[in-house]
């Protein structure tokens, strides 16, 4: 039986995979993430971020059974810690 910590860790790994796919990676790239300033080497648009936020909240509610307000708060922290730099217009490298 998985503990709550295991489920949360698994979910955040799934979220990182999804976030990396948004900007063109096949999934989470640990080598890329170990580079200095990795978070500013790719960008996403406001729309991409908003779409990812919707996915994150829905998935967290399903996978972790978090209430909506908890999922939204956790997204804010996730985005602050790991989110891509936001760029107006077209996302790119």
**pLDDT category, 90, cuts 50, 70, 90?**
low
Query: Look-up: residue for tokens 């295991």?
Result: 6
pLDDT in the model for residue 88 = 74
Q: At what angle do helices 68-82 and 46-63 cross, to 10 degrees?
A: 130
- Rounded to 10 degrees, the C-alpha dihedral 27/38/84/90 comes to -90
Label residue 52 exposed, middle or buried (CB < 10 Å: 0-12, 13-18, 19+): buried
Examine the pLDDT at 65 and tell me if it is beyond 80: yes
Q: What are the domain boundaries of the chain? A: 4-86
Taking the whole predicted model, whether its pTM rises above 0.75 is answered as yes
């Amino acid at each position: 039986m998985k503990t709550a910590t295991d489920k949360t860790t698994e979910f955040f790994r799934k979220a990182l995979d999804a976030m990396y796919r948004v900007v063109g990676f096949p999934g989470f790239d640990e080598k890329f993430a170990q580079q200095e300033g990795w978070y500013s080497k790719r960008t996403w648009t406001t729309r991409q971020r908003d779409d990812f936020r919707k996915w994150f909240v829905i998935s967290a509610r399903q996978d972790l059974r978090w209430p909506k307000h908890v999922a939204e708060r956790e997204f804010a922290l996730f985005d602050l810690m790991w989110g891509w730099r936001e760029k107006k217009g077209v996302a790119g490298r």
